[in-house]
Chains A and B, each alone.
Chain A
């Protein structure tokens, strides 16, 4: 028994539930025989990967679904061995090069080279190119992205790249200009609801539309999250009730409590407690930038309108430092302290105004 997310994933372009125009365009693109490098971007949970897999199936047929997970070792020029996991079929290779950290440049060059240098066996009946699917391109180092640019041109004959990222802002210009950019936006609330309902119907369950809407809102239209939530709801209680509370992830609840703790008291001792909570989040594998984002959202909902701009500004400032710096806790804590200071001043000013 697999997860609903995997079980009911559409497998061909025709079966996609939303953005049907785009699906049709992709189909046309494939049917004319050749296509340029693609850069698929859009928020998480919008269905980028699903769409890409559908596209590959359209290209190569069902053979592309026979996936195997491979463990590859790439030797860097410095003789350092880099181990990386790839997912491959006979026709394509999927790599998340950012797993290799600083050495991602070597990984990209080596892997693409090996794929591109081996020709398809029966080029008469099949496409004459293979596809390399690079995920999380926005997390690649600049070094690797520049290497990618060169590699893209060099092996154009035997290999197409499909790049997948959440935003294009961290992808360097030269790569963006070499690719056909495809944006996959989040599905609308109605689309999420309809997907949820149809999945439930296939499972033989009845999902009240109100609950579907509630799930969709809570998930922020992230379809993967919505489906996971829906399944968690099913575990929690069936038959569904309309006012059932949708289970959230533990870390989100935890983060909200942390934000409440920040708002309720501003003192060095409280900051110490907050730090311990931040550490706890980090040990639970929550990336620092996600913590930052979540924290800001929770804090902003507790703020007055005047404060919001300032808090958002500080958040952006420290988030930037978080990206540049090496130890996340300094910046997370600095932001928290900043917020405490701003918020305390605001409250005191408010009190003074009340007095007079």
Chain B
């Protein structure tokens, strides 16, 4: 292979060229990973960066456009190829428009507003704001957490001696907002065309707000009253369930303060491919062979491995592009594999097979620069409950060991999913996942016999995890039994269409049961009864007796618990619908699947065009898939 030899040569002439750059200028450049964040700041002289990070008005201007030529070769590509216009943004057009409209409306009137941008990391939230503010001629004033904390702790003394008042981050934040809102920047001679219109950007929240979101809300309430310029918050969704955007900006507060919430999706693979391809071709042109350009398959692997995080994708692209023997080998091996598998896949007409193949490859290749793919709970549940199997025709050619006749009713077509993987990616413990399954599985069954078997499997799963000493080990078996049991016992495979999913009631019911039992015992202690007879005999009859010796608490308790309304449908339990983005998981798969389908259909239509080429219709495709997704979500 041509590339390999090149890489080898380069490696022998230069020692580890890919390591040097990112660490050489570390102090000046700060972290390369966060490079995109500071895309604007790193422009101009480097000394500027040595200024302690403290509220700085971002310098925005045209110089950003023309300096890329004299930039250092070793600058992170994330910075070098930061988007400069709306067209370059790897964000869906509609989203950009949405943000743009908001900015236009709120900057033209002098009445400010609050915008909240959320989305997984690396989906282009900050880039969108920066590009838009550039195009609209807005000055971005960004808050970043002051770092004077260590100075404070190391020499408390001095601080007091110097009578410099130390103020908390929260106060500083408040002051910042106040000032940024009230006063304009001084007009310097250099930036002539700087406008007085500006937006305030907050990405970095003082820690205190995570402890007491209330203080943030108070500050914002003050701000809203007197606000003159728009305030933009950017919050990344986290995977680990505790979504900070929900925590910092609960729905009531959003409504109260009139916060406009725009949520970003992970970058779609087609867009990502476009960006990656253009970057790699540009680099190849520039470097004249010094950099080995990864081929299409590698780009695809990168693209899928990053699960919609364009920053990490570009970083790993740079990482892979620098020639190094050992690394090159790794990638070559993988490349070969993936190339061959891709070739195989394209030639196949069976869509399903292809997809599963590709997912398999994808999993193998996340070793470098890959990000863990994850699933929304909503998706994960859907995958199990909808029970997608291969269609029987697809397997006709494959010689299969048929089951003997007496157990032939247990025959099922191969699954399209791997249940264990689904659960793992849902970021849930198996037990909780089972509860969710249990809450929702009945809607997907049509036969009582199937339900019987399924419920038995769920019962088995619970039994496996019952003993707390072995729970950590048995938990995995528990969800395997439950998910596979459900999948197996759903023999009819009726397509049920869209069904809303619900959160499990059990936790609430169980909590209530315990609370009520405890309350019963403490309120009616004087009867000296065992809990069981108290709850099943005494309480219900007390409700029927007119016994004046009870106090108020007892009376209300008896009315609540002792009596049961004999209505047909109990009204006490409300089904809580599971929303699509339940605890901040990545919404990867929907887009990916749609994407794949799109590709496959195209591949079928015109076989000559390799599926991985940057496709002229990708924008159209994106639009379509977006619509699909939106539709789906509206219905719940």
Separation of A118 and B531 alpha carbons in the complex (Å): 30
Separation of A326 and B431 alpha carbons in the complex (Å): 11
Q: Considering the complex, which residues of chain B in the window 315-371 have a beta carbon less than 8 Å from any beta carbon of chain A? A: none
Task: Verify B537–A249 contact, CB threshold 8 A.
Answer: yes
Task: Verify A282–B509 contact, CB threshold 8 A.
Answer: yes
- Judge if B612 is at the interface, Cβ distance under 8 Å: no
The 5 A-B residue pairs whose C-beta atoms are closest, nearest first, are A249-B540, A341-B452, A250-B564, A228-B541, A280-B570
Shortest beta-carbon distance from A155 to chain B in Å: 24
14 A/B residue pairs, CB under 8 Å, sorted by A: A1-B547, A1-B548, A96-B531, A99-B531, A135-B530, A136-B530, A271-B448, A283-B512, A285-B516, A285-B535, A286-B535, A321-B462, A337-B456, A344-B449
Separation of A285 and B535 alpha carbons in the complex (Å): 6
Which of the 9-residue segments A72-80, A120-128, A229-237 touches chain B? Answer: A229-237
Separation of A214 and B563 alpha carbons in the complex (Å): 23
Shortest beta-carbon distance from B506 to chain A in Å: 5
Separation of A228 and B528 alpha carbons in the complex (Å): 16
Q: Are A329 and B509 CB-contacts (below 8 A) given A249-B537, A277-B570, A284-B561?
A: yes
Task: Verify A254–B564 contact, CB threshold 8 A.
Answer: yes
- Selected from B443, B451, B459, B530, the residue in CB contact (under 8 A) with A340 is B451
Most buried by B among A228, A232, A250, A281: A250
Task: Verify B540–A231 contact, CB threshold 8 A.
Answer: no
A319-332 vs B, Cβ < 8 Å mask (1 yes, 0 no): 00100111101110
Task: Verify A285–B539 contact, CB threshold 8 A.
Answer: yes
Instruction: Give me 8 other A-B pairs in contact (C-beta within 8 A), A45-B537, A334-B452 excluded.
Output: A44-B530, A94-B528, A96-B530, A276-B569, A280-B564, A287-B532, A337-B451, A341-B452
Task: Verify A232–B544 contact, CB threshold 8 A.
Answer: yes
Separation of A85 and B543 alpha carbons in the complex (Å): 25
Task: Verify B448–A268 contact, CB threshold 8 A.
Answer: yes
- Judge if A224 is at the interface, Cβ distance under 8 Å: yes
Separation of A326 and B475 alpha carbons in the complex (Å): 13
Shortest beta-carbon distance from B497 to chain A in Å: 15
Separation of A336 and B543 alpha carbons in the complex (Å): 29
Shortest beta-carbon distance from A260 to chain B in Å: 11
Q: Which residues of A contact B4 (CB under 8 A)?
A: none
Task: Verify A257–B566 contact, CB threshold 8 A.
Answer: yes
Task: Verify B570–A279 contact, CB threshold 8 A.
Answer: yes
- Judge if B151 is at the interface, Cβ distance under 8 Å: no
- Judge if B458 is at the interface, Cβ distance under 8 Å: yes
Q: Considering the complex, which residues of chain A in the window 46-75 have a beta carbon less than 8 Å from any beta carbon of chain B? A: 49, 67, 69
Which of the 9-residue segments B19-27, B392-400, B519-527 touches chain A? Answer: B519-527
Task: Verify B536–A279 contact, CB threshold 8 A.
Answer: no
Interface residues of A (CB under 8 A from B): 1-3, 6, 44-45, 49, 67, 69, 85, 87, 94, 96, 99, 135-136, 222, 224-225, 228-229, 231-232, 235-236, 247, 249-254, 257, 266-269, 271-273, 275-277, 279-287, 290, 318, 321, 324-327, 329-331, 333-334, 336-338, 340-341, 344-345
Task: Verify B537–A228 contact, CB threshold 8 A.
Answer: yes
Shortest beta-carbon distance from B353 to chain A in Å: 32
Task: Verify B462–A269 contact, CB threshold 8 A.
Answer: no
Q: Which residues of A contact B572 (CB under 8 A)?
A: 280, 283
Separation of A210 and B537 alpha carbons in the complex (Å): 23
- Judge if B463 is at the interface, Cβ distance under 8 Å: yes
Q: Which residues of A contact B544 (CB under 8 A)?
A: 232, 235-236, 247
Task: Verify A330–B561 contact, CB threshold 8 A.
Answer: no
Separation of A96 and B525 alpha carbons in the complex (Å): 12
Shortest beta-carbon distance from A1 to chain B in Å: 6
Most buried by A among B459, B462, B465: B459
Q: Which residues of B contact A321 (CB under 8 A)?
A: 459, 462-463
- Judge if B442 is at the interface, Cβ distance under 8 Å: yes
- Selected from A2, A69, A229, A279, the residue in CB contact (under 8 A) with B525 is A69
Q: Which residues of B contact A6 (CB under 8 A)?
A: 527
Task: Verify A69–B537 contact, CB threshold 8 A.
Answer: no
| Interface residue range, chain B | 35 or more
Task: Verify B530–A286 contact, CB threshold 8 A.
Answer: no
CB closest chain-B residue, reference A281: B564
Q: Which residues of B contact A281 (CB under 8 A)?
A: 564
Q: Which residues of B contact A228 (CB under 8 A)?
A: 537-538, 541, 545
Separation of A112 and B119 alpha carbons in the complex (Å): 60
Q: Are A318 and B452 CB-contacts (below 8 A) given A232-B544, A249-B537?
A: no
Shortest beta-carbon distance from B416 to chain A in Å: 23
Task: Verify B465–A326 contact, CB threshold 8 A.
Answer: yes
Shortest beta-carbon distance from A313 to chain B in Å: 14
Separation of A150 and B543 alpha carbons in the complex (Å): 43
Task: Verify A225–B463 contact, CB threshold 8 A.
Answer: no
CB closest chain-B residue, reference A98: B531
- Judge if B628 is at the interface, Cβ distance under 8 Å: no
B498-516 vs A, Cβ < 8 Å mask (1 yes, 0 no): 0000000110011011001
Q: Which residues of B contact A135 (CB under 8 A)?
A: 530
Task: Verify A85–B521 contact, CB threshold 8 A.
Answer: yes
Q: Which residues of A contact B566 (CB under 8 A)?
A: 250, 253-254, 257
- Selected from B447, B509, B533, the residue in CB contact (under 8 A) with A279 is B509
Q: Considering the complex, which residues of chain B in the window 234-283 have a beta carbon less than 8 Å from any beta carbon of chain A? A: none
Shortest beta-carbon distance from B450 to chain A in Å: 8
- Judge if B378 is at the interface, Cβ distance under 8 Å: no
Task: Verify A334–B458 contact, CB threshold 8 A.
Answer: yes
Q: Which residues of B contact A94 (CB under 8 A)?
A: 528
- Judge if B70 is at the interface, Cβ distance under 8 Å: no
Shortest beta-carbon distance from B512 to chain A in Å: 5
Task: Verify A251–B564 contact, CB threshold 8 A.
Answer: yes
Q: Which residues of B contact A224 (CB under 8 A)?
A: 533, 537-538
Separation of A336 and B452 alpha carbons in the complex (Å): 8
- Judge if B165 is at the interface, Cβ distance under 8 Å: no
- Judge if B546 is at the interface, Cβ distance under 8 Å: yes
Separation of A87 and B456 alpha carbons in the complex (Å): 43
- Judge if B305 is at the interface, Cβ distance under 8 Å: no
- Judge if B173 is at the interface, Cβ distance under 8 Å: no
- Judge if B573 is at the interface, Cβ distance under 8 Å: yes
Q: Which residues of A contact B36 (CB under 8 A)?
A: none
